[in-house]
Amino acid sequence: GDSWGILTFLCAALCNLPALPALNCTEEPGAGQNIQKTYDLTRYLEHQLRTLAGTYLNYLGPPFNEPDFNPPRLAHAERVPSATVDLDLWRGLTDNARLAANYRAYSRLLCYLRALDGQTGTAELRHRLGHFCSSLQGLVLSIAGVMSSLGYPLPVGPSAPPGAPGAPNDFLKKMDDFWLLKELQTWLWRSAKDFNRLKKKVPPAVVTLRLETRGF
Confidence band of 139 (pLDDT split at 50, 70, 90): very high
pLDDT digits (tens, 9 = 90+) for 40-52: 999 999 999 999 9
Confidence of residue 17 (pLDDT cuts 50, 70, 90): very low
For the stretch 26-39, pLDDT in tens is 334 578 889 999 99
154-198 pLDDT per residue, tens: 987 655 555 555 566 788 888 888 988 998 999 999 999 999 999
Q: Residue ranges per domain, the chain?
A: 31-200
Class of domain 31-200: mainly alpha
- pLDDT at residue 150 above 50? yes
CA 164 vs. chain centroid, Å, equals 28
Indicate the pTM of the whole model. 0.76
The residues, any chain, with a CB within 8 Å of residue 135's CB and separated by 6 or more, are 41, 44, 45, 48
Quick one: which of 94, 114, 93 has its CA closest to 159?
A: 114
**N-terminal to C-terminal alpha carbon distance within the chain:** 29
Contacts within 8 Å (CB) and 24+ apart, 94-100 = 95/150, 95/152, 95/198, 95/201, 96/147, 96/150, 96/152, 98/194, 99/143, 99/146, 99/147, 99/150, 99/152, 100/147, 100/152, 100/154, 100/155
Under 8 Å between Cβ of 47 and 197: no
